Structure 1
Amino acid sequence: MLKEEFREQVENLLSSVSVHANGDGPNLCEAVYNASTNILFWIEYLKKSELTGCCDGFLDGLRSSIVETAGCLSLGLVRPAIFSIRGQIDIILAWIYFKDHPVEWSNLQEKGENYMLKSGIVKYLEEFYIGYTTRFAALLSVKTRTEKDPYGVLSAHVHSQSQYVVPTYTSLDTLVMDVAACEECVAFQAEATEWINDVLLSCVGSKWASLPSEIVTAAQVRLGSKSSKVFF
């Protein structure tokens, strides 16, 4: 392919991005924000009350990943947005684990080895966080998300694990997907947000009196009055 042909493709891509961004871009950004609100409440609380001085930057990274998701979808770039949403789950789990493991964190920073996988961190939470398993089960029983664990679906896209999620782009401008595909991705954000919320609430539910009222109220609505008393 000649340079001029690439130039034409790039121009077509820019045109497609411009049309999408100027049309549906702002609405999609707002939709991502609304789908991420609970995470933002959590970040504010955690930065005020739960920092240990170890790997604190993960929380800023979590917020940045939400910005990244909104930015990608405002341009119609769905696959990068999916990577960002999955990254939010990885980031919060890494923060939960490494904030209390400074030796392991220092080793990871120095050698780039022994990074904890999601499965390992979840097992750690179930074994060492008192009440975690009970709380998470209670929240899972009243989930509003469609997936028990959205990480699996997101990972299928990231790793192209089936013909349904393999990229099918034919030219640069086809990277820009239609609003329906972008809205499906916003739904992924909502699924990830609820899962992250449930993990965090299962970890620190005993501190409910100090948690943001928005988080507690939303949990109480889902659980109902009887289950709320047991949960909190």
Structure 2
Amino acid sequence: MSGVGPKEQLVSLKKSLTRSLDESGEQRVLDCQSACSSVLHWISYIRGSELSGNCDNLVDALQGGAIETAGCIAMGLVRPALFSLRSQIDLAVAWLFYKDHPVEWESVVRTGEGFLLKRDVFEHFSKYRNQFSPRLELLDKHKNRKLSDPYRVLSAHIHGQSSLVVPKFRKLHELIYPASRCDEAVKLQAEVAEYISDIFLAYFGDKWASLPSEVIASVQLRVPADKLPALFS
């Protein structure tokens, strides 16, 4: 770290953190809640209709990840928020797979090994759930989000895949990002939420009559009417 002592740096960090919370914290939490509303609707639906008694804690963790993201952004801690954003995708995808694979989930819990990530789960769904990939491709073609797969961008930050995404902090107060970067993080939450919602819809599309009305209404605004039968069949 820089030549400034830890006490002085902590004082500066506290001031920056307090300023971020006092000036924009409440609004950022509200914005994050709005940005991830589709995921919250899905969580409500899943708890009411799709829990299997196996790995249900992953659904709770998905909600926890959204709360963690909002809290980090409210404080101005954008880099930790990126980790939470990617975890939302991992948790959603993991729940979809392990809810029907209790033996594999028990092994993961017992050994800490064998946890399948997104690519592996998608390969499984492509092989064993015929409509998953076509539905996801259709939703991606008519997406609102800018990023086709926000998971890739988030992974680049987490793994430090270029000089543009590695941490460059020299003092503790620099952990608190400026307002413009916090606003970008909120927008990324919206991208992640739509992506997760599309994954769920690709999986549960044949149950469209019982799915969250807010999700269905949003998709109907995105996808041309003549394409909807392919999505909900």
**Normalised TM-score (structure 1):** 0.96
Aligned to 1:126: 126
Partners in 2 of 1:187 and 1:127 — Cα distance? 33
C-alpha distance in 1, partners of 2:143/2:191?
A: 10
Sequence identity percentage:
40
2:210 maps to 210
Report the AA paired with residue 111 of structure 1. T
Name which of structure 1's ranges 220-229 and 39-48 shifts more when overlaid on structure 2.
Answer: 220-229
Deviation digits for residues 113-149 of structure 1 (CA, Å, limit 9, x no counterpart): 1111211001111111231122111111101111111
Q: 1:171 is matched with which residue?
A: 171
Are 1:87 and 2:87 matched, yes or no? yes
Partner of 1:190: 190
SS at match of 1:92: helix
Q: How far apart are the structure 2 equivalents of 1:93 and 1:107?
A: 18
Q: Which residue of 2 aligns with 1:226?
A: 226
1:9-88 superposed matches below 5 A: 9-88=9-88
Matched with 1:201 is 201
* Distance in 2 separating the partners of 1:227 and 1:220: 10
| Moved segments of 4+, more than 3 Å | none
Provide the C-alpha distance between the structure 2 equivalents of 1:61 and 1:117, rounded to a whole number of angstroms. 16
* Counterparts of 1:194 and 1:86, CA distance in 2: 13
SS at match of 1:79: helix
Instruction: Letter of the 2:113 partner, please give it.
Output: E
Paired amino acid for 2:98:
F
Matched to 2:117, the amino acid is: L
Instruction: Please tell me the residue identity of whatever aligns with 1:194.
Output: E
- Between Structure 1 and Structure 2, how many residues are aligned? 230
SS at match of 2:5: helix
Letter of the 2:21 partner, please give it. A
Q: Which amino acid aligns with 2:222?
A: R
Flag structure 1 segments of 5+ consecutive residues without an equivalent: none
Which blocks of at least 5 consecutive residues in structure 2 are unaligned? none
Q: Secondary structure at the match of 1:166?
A: coil
> Which deviations, in whole Å up to 9, do the C-alpha atoms of 1:76-133 show, x marking residues without a partner?
0000000000000000111011110000011111111111121100111111123112
User: TM-score of the superposition, structure 2-length normalised?
Assistant: 0.96
Alpha carbon RMSD of aligned pairs, Å? 1.2
Counterpart CA distance in 2 for 1:20 and 1:204 is 40
SS at match of 2:53: coil
